Amino acid sequence: MSSIAFEPELVASEPDHIQGVRNGEGKALAALYREHQACLCSFAARLLADPVAAEDLVHDVFMILPRVIHRYDQRASLKAFLLGIASRRALHHLRTARRRRGLLERFAQLSPYRNVATPEDHASQRRLADSLTAALDRLSFEHRVVFTLCDIEELSSDEVSEALGVPAGTVRSRLFTARHKVRALLAKAGAL
Partner 1 sequence: MSESLERMLAAYRAVHDGSVLNSSAIERRITASPAVRPASKRLPALLVAALALMLGGAALAATGVAESVVRDWLQGSPSEGPARNVVSPPVVVPRAAVALPGTETSQFTTPSEDPSTHTLEHAAIEEVRPSEPERSRNRGEPRDDAPKPSHAPLVEHSEAALDPSQLAMYRRGLELTGAGRHSAALAVWDRYLERYPSGPLHLEVRFNRAQGLAMVGRFADAERALLPFAQGRYGRYRSGQAAALLHDVRERARR
Closest to partner 1 by CB, 9 or 154: 154
| Min separation Cβ 167 and partner 1, Å | 23
- In a 3-state reduction of DSSP, which class is residue 74? coil
Amino acid type, 185: L
Question: Distance between CA atoms of 139 and 147, rounded to whole angstroms?
Answer: 9
| Min separation Cβ 11 and partner 1, Å | 20
Question: Distance between CA atoms of 14 and 149, rounded to whole angstroms?
Answer: 23
| Min separation Cβ 8 and partner 1, Å | 26
| Min separation Cβ 33 and partner 1, Å | 6
* Residue 152 CB-half CA count within 13 A: 23
By the criterion CB under 8 A, which residues form the site for partner 1?
21-27, 29-30, 33-34, 37-46, 49-60, 62-64, 66-67, 89, 92-93, 96, 104, 106-107, 110, 112-113, 116-119, 122, 125-126, 128-129, 131-133, 151-152, 179, 182-183, 186, 191-192
Closest to partner 1 by CB, 14 or 55: 55
Closest to partner 1 by CB, 66 or 138: 66
Q: How many CB atoms lie within 10 A of CB 64?
A: 15
Which residues, other chains included, contact 48 with Cβ-Cβ below 8 Å and sequence gap of 6+?
54, 57, 90, 93, 94, 97
